[in-house]
Amino acid sequence: MSADTAPPNAVTAVPASAAAPAPADDAAHILVVDDDRRLRELLSRYLARDGYRVTTAGDAAEARRHLKGLDFDLIVLDVMMPGESGIDLTRSLRRESQVPILMLTAQAEAKDRVLGFETGVDDYLTKPFEAKELSLRIASILRRVAPKETAQAQLVRFGPFVFHCDRGELRQGDEIIRLTDRERFMLQLLARTPGEPVARELLAGSAAAANERTIDVQINRLRRKIERDPANPVYLQTARGAGYRLLPER
C-alpha cells in the first residue's frame, strides 16, 4: 500500500504492499490497538513483513480479551480511543504487567508525553510518523528487554535492595520490585558503572529526549521505588552537569 492511501495524519512512507513471509517460531508477538481500522490493517501488514506476529484490536475492551489468552512481547497503543483511552489502559495494565508499550498519539505537546511516561509507557511516537521509524523503535525496545548473553553477571546492592544486572531484576529481600522497561534499562546502565555519572543522553536513549523533562520524570519514578526520601536521594543521585549516578554499598 502506498503512503497516499494511508489514513491522513497517521503514518507515511509505507513501501508498496507485498506478501509477508510466515513469521519464525520465535518471532516477537505484537498487539496493535487503534480504533482506526485502516491504520490497524496498514501497520499489521507492515510489521508482518518485518517478521513479527501481529494481532490487532479496535479498542481497549478487545485488547483486554486478547491479553487474557495470549502473551505479547510489545503493545503498540493509540492514546485517543472511544471508551477507555490508551492512557487508562496503560495505567490498568501496569498494575499487573511489564509488557513494553509504545504509545501512538496525535498530541505532540511535552506535557502529553510526560503523562504517558508517568503512566508507564516505554516509548512515545507522535502522529504522523514514518512506518520505518515505528519499526526501528519497536526493534530497539525488544533489544532492551531481550536477555543479554554478554551482560555482566553482577549484583549491585544499595540499602535493602539488590539489583541483578544480568537479568535486570530488582529485589528487596524476597520481593521482586516491578520495573518498567525504561527503568530497567536505566538501572542496568547505572549499575554497570557504580559511582560514576551516566550521561542523560545515554539514560534517555537519544540526545533529543535528554533535553526534555521526560528523563527527569522517569528518574523520579525510579527514585520513588528505591529511596526512602525521593526528594533527598541517597542512592540515585544527580551528578550536576554530568547526568546521574548510582551509589551502591561498598
CATH number reported for the structural domain that contains residue 242 in this entry: 1.10.10.10
For residue 1, pLDDT beyond 50? no
**Domain presence at residue 150:** no
Nearest alpha-carbon partner for 66 in 46, 89, 83: 89
**Domain presence at residue 75:** yes
Nearest alpha-carbon partner for 134 in 1, 11, 6, 3: 11
Domain that holds residue 96: 3-145
Q: 7 with 126, same domain?
A: yes
| Torsion of the alpha carbons at 158, 161, 162 and 164, rounded to the nearest 10 | -110
Q: 169 with 123, same domain?
A: no
Q: 110 with 174, same domain?
A: no
Q: 160 with 190, same domain?
A: yes
Confidence (pLDDT) at 18: 56
3-state secondary structure of 208: helix
**Domain presence at residue 242:** yes
Confidence (pLDDT) at 172: 92
Cell numbers given for 187: 538501572
Confidence (pLDDT) at 153: 45
For residue 129, pLDDT beyond 90? no
Better-predicted residue by pLDDT, 196 or 4: 196
Could you read off the pLDDT of 148-170 as tens digits, one per residue? 444 444 788 998 999 988 788 99
Q: 182 with 211, same domain?
A: yes
Least confident of 5-9, 94-98, 112-116, 215-219: 5-9
Q: What angle do CA 24, 25, 27 make, to 5 degrees?
A: 60
- Rounded to whole angstroms, what are the CA distances from 203 to 6, 34, 125, 208, 219? 34, 29, 18, 12, 9
Q: 10 with 129, same domain?
A: yes
CB 204 within 8 A of CB 244: no
- Count of CB atoms within 10 A of residue 239's CB? 13
Q: 136 with 220, same domain?
A: no
Q: What angle do CA 124, 130, 136 make, to 5 degrees?
A: 65
Mean of per-residue pLDDT scores for the chain: 83
Better-predicted residue by pLDDT, 29 or 208: 29
**Domain presence at residue 171:** yes
Nearest alpha-carbon partner for 245 in 186, 182, 201, 205: 186
What average pLDDT does this structure show over 6-35? 70
What average pLDDT does this structure show over 215-231? 92
CB 136 within 8 A of CB 143: no
- Identify the band that residue 32 occupies on the pLDDT scale cut at 50, 70 and 90: very high
**Domain presence at residue 94:** yes
Could you read off the pLDDT of 66-78 as tens digits, one per residue? 999 888 999 999 9
Give the end-to-end CA distance of the chain in Å, rounded to a whole number: 58
Q: 206 with 94, same domain?
A: no
